[in-house]
């Protein structure tokens, strides 16, 4: 069923959180309790964003229908539906991250000046679906599934809101919006300020064990760009192979982000 056994634990955690979400949605209707639950779920759902990212690079299951089911639950946590990151991130950013005039996650403005973290967050999150759609013009099959499952997700969320509006807002809608902006905010640290044509000098890395446990080794970011299709569980080994080619200043140790020590 799983393509890589390492995915069993993170997927089980994601689906368990999904189950808890639906239990709370069905049983709790007090706005204060729902708000408290939403606040408590911010960190877990922020972490889930990284696992959705990994899945859209390298799908989790052999069976397509299982991947689509998993992507539906990922969308309810992260605000990112099927194939959005495949288009925006895999076919877009990873191909163009060395060229700020083309990068779908560019940290520079059109005039060449760097954005602040806030400006970057608002720009990337606010245009994510539009940019994904634009990239999809070159990949009709991927775009077709992107649009189809976007409609399925929107219809499902609308149905949840129609059935129980307040619980749906706190458990699904608000976290989806927050997580999309949170994803954009944390990615600002991946490449900002690194204006180079050398892929080994274009990403910050974080070797902290806790950070990489929570994010599925996303801290080995140069390795991730070097072989973007490599499963997350194999990134530490690849990092060791290419570490000598990465400037030491780009390898940090931080519990939460890539650039701070």
User: DSSP letters of 66-77?
Assistant: HHHHHHHHHHHH
Burial class (CB in 10 A: 0-12, 13-18, 19+), 65: exposed
Residue 173 predicted with pLDDT over 60 = yes
Among the listed residues 29, 27, 80, 32, the one whose alpha carbon sits nearest the alpha carbon of residue 52: 80
* Span 181-202, pLDDT tens digits: 999 999 999 999 999 999 999 9
Among the listed residues 166, 237, 148, 242, the one whose alpha carbon sits nearest the alpha carbon of residue 198: 242
Q: What is the pTM of this model?
A: 0.94
* Span 208-239, pLDDT tens digits: 999 999 999 999 999 999 999 999 999 999 99
* Span 29-84, pLDDT tens digits: 999 999 999 999 999 999 999 999 999 999 999 999 999 999 999 999 999 999 99
Residue 256 predicted with pLDDT over 70 = no
pLDDT at residue number 260: 43
């Amino acid at each position: 069923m799983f393509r890589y056994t390492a995915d069993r634990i993170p997927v089980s955690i994601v689906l368990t959180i999904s189950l808890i979400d639906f239990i709370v949605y069905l049983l709790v209707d007090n706005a204060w309790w729902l708000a408290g639950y939403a606040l408590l779920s911010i960190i877990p759902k922020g972490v889930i964003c990284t696992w959705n990212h990994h899945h859209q690079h390298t799908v989790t299951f052999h069976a397509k229908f299982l991947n689509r089911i998993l992507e539906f639950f990922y969308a309810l946590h992260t605000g990112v539906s099927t194939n959005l990151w495949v288009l925006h991130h895999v076919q877009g950013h990873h191909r163009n991250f060395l060229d700020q005039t083309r990068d779908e996650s560019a940290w520079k403005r059109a005039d060449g000046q760097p954005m602040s973290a806030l400006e970057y967050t608002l720009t990337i999150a606010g245009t994510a679906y539009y940019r994904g759609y634009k990239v999809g013009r070159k990949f009709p099959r991927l775009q077709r599934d992107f649009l189809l499952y976007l409609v399925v997700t929107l219809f499902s969320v609308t149905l949840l809101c129609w059935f129980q509006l307040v619980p749906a807002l706190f458990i699904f809608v608000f976290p989806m919006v927050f997580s999309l902006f949170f994803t954009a905010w944390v990615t600002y640290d991946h490449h900002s300020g690194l204006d180079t044509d050398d892929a080994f000098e274009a990403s910050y890395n974080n070797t902290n064990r806790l950070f990489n446990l929570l994010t599925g080794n996303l801290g080995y970011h140069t390795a991730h760009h070097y072989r973007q299709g490599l499963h997350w569980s194999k990134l530490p080994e690849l990092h060791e192979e290419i570490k000598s080619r990465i400037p030491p200043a780009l390898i940090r140790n931080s519990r939460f982000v890539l650039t701070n020590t």
